[in-house]
Chains A and B, each alone.
Chain A
């Protein structure tokens, strides 16, 4: 049984922002379905009254002062950008 059809695979690829050619969608749908079939075993477990885990070690998230600790390094931050201009990251036109 296939849990993910070609249309669902197309939608998931879109949500993940990964371009997948139409020809590859059926195979992708099959692979994703196989993985989800494997996960179906979780349905056998009785989880009544069980809280979903939010932290694996019982620790309180540490607080810190809300102050600037580092900064003034635009050049270093931009140093790896594929396209940086005039102190900014450059991207294709977003608004028409």
Chain B
């Protein structure tokens, strides 16, 4: 039944509707694929019993004439989402054994829409990383390899497990979260589609917080249509998240007409980076040509503060993280260090956090603590928030001039080898996010679409950035790009 795992969400939905297949069969096929994919270290906590129970319930629901958008579709869930009764650790040792007594709103929405949970997916610890190498579960491995080369590659991060699982056909869709590129960069590294919606489109309630003003959940799938279907099931207003938008969720799939005639697509000159591989530059040009051929008008635009997005991000995100992660103190949940004779509560905090947090998380918490500390708050944190205002203004001016969407590369390189960056300066790793971070700072929707292969046979992605709340229009442009690019490659199974 291996071909069942090749189905996209839309194909599986249609097959279910025709009665060609049951959710139980689809789910069994996925569970089988997961069982055989241990080498990828992607599904760090499969939930087969729960999956089969939900699948049978979905089949019964469909038989009773009630088949919502994701009825019977098996999906994977990033470990950052709290799932009731199932360990949810944000890939951190400090949340060792944490079993939430509640369900995140986004996952609850998916279950209400009939989706089936296959299990929890690997990620960077607290979503801090771009290579899935900071996880307490160990590295997730990209199903893609360079042609004729067995070097294990990173699936990107932080939603590396989600991206790898979708690319390896272990599930048709997975939830991701994106604070600075954590959906779009791994999607680009694995030849999959990753959408970060407008800030406020999906509720953040029950998602372990990293940087609350930037975090946003989104779908990771193998097609733009699937991203539209899954976003519709995930999104919606939630009174439990005061930043979730109280606006209707349109039928995103119905907006995929493929007609982008007359659309104005901006190509920002500041995204032309020194040292960027020629193949990425070429792909970017090709992408613009494809959209032009589809009837869009391509215009050069300027987003003058782009260069400052990354340093502003690496002030704001750690500052918020240091506040959010203050709750991990060894008192209410997760790991508590063994204390020595005479240790008091301060030693308990300090030892627990030293043992529980990995190196990158410690580094970011400390950077955040420093930039928020007396004497530096204005110089770093307030300055960064002012620059953030300017970055958002850049986009607003481009949109006000009539630009409908912005086309950029998704990443400055294809997937790199696991371990390759281990000796590098932390800032080198941060550069992975250079094209994705501005979107988060401006709260805009962004999508990564697979658009080609590099000379080593690895997938490359292009990013489209849209107007706030216009995910439907953005998905339609992405759909046009996807159709023109005709990306059909998939990783050869070696695991």
Chain A residues in the interface with B (C-beta under 8 A): 4, 8-9, 12-13, 15-20, 28, 31-32, 34-36, 38-45, 47, 50-57, 59, 61-62, 64, 73, 76-77, 79-83, 89, 91-94
| B332 adjacent to A38 (CB under 8 Å) | no
Hey, which chain A residues are within 8 Å of B199, CB to CB? 56-57
Main secondary structure of the interface of B (DSSP, over half): helix
Hey, which chain A residues are within 8 Å of B100, CB to CB? 80
Distance between Cα atoms of A82 and B329 in the complex (Å)? 11
Distance between Cα atoms of A40 and B334 in the complex (Å)? 37
Main secondary structure of the interface of A (DSSP, over half): loop
Tell me the nearest residue of chain B to A75, going by C-beta: B101
Tell me the chain B residues, 307-338 only, with Cβ under 8 Å from chain A.
307-308, 310-312, 314-315, 322, 326, 329-336
Distance between Cα atoms of A8 and B347 in the complex (Å)? 20
| A16 adjacent to B369 (CB under 8 Å) | yes
Chain B residues in the interface with A (C-beta under 8 A): 97-101, 198-200, 213, 239, 242-243, 245-246, 305, 307-308, 310-312, 314-315, 322, 326, 329-336, 339, 343-351, 353-354, 357, 362-363, 365-367, 369-371, 373, 380, 382-390, 392, 425-427, 430, 441-443, 468
Given A42-B315, A57-B443, A89-B331, are A50 and B366 also a contact pair (CB < 8 Å)?
Answer: no
Tell me the nearest residue of chain B to A48, going by C-beta: B386
Given A39-B380, A45-B308, A81-B331, are A16 and B365 also a contact pair (CB < 8 Å)?
Answer: yes
Hey, which chain A residues are within 8 Å of B390, CB to CB? 45, 47, 50
Hey, which chain A residues are within 8 Å of B346, CB to CB? 17
Tell me the nearest residue of chain A to B333, going by C-beta: A80
Distance between Cα atoms of A20 and B355 in the complex (Å)? 10
Distance between Cα atoms of A23 and B310 in the complex (Å)? 31
Distance between Cα atoms of A17 and B362 in the complex (Å)? 10
Given A45-B390, A61-B242, are A80 and B332 also a contact pair (CB < 8 Å)?
Answer: yes
Distance between Cα atoms of A83 and B347 in the complex (Å)? 16
| B353 adjacent to A19 (CB under 8 Å) | yes
Given A4-B370, A59-B200, are A51 and B332 also a contact pair (CB < 8 Å)?
Answer: no
Given A32-B367, A45-B308, are A80 and B334 also a contact pair (CB < 8 Å)?
Answer: yes
Tell me the nearest residue of chain B to A47, going by C-beta: B386
Given A41-B307, A52-B385, are A19 and B351 also a contact pair (CB < 8 Å)?
Answer: yes
Distance between Cα atoms of A92 and B308 in the complex (Å)? 45
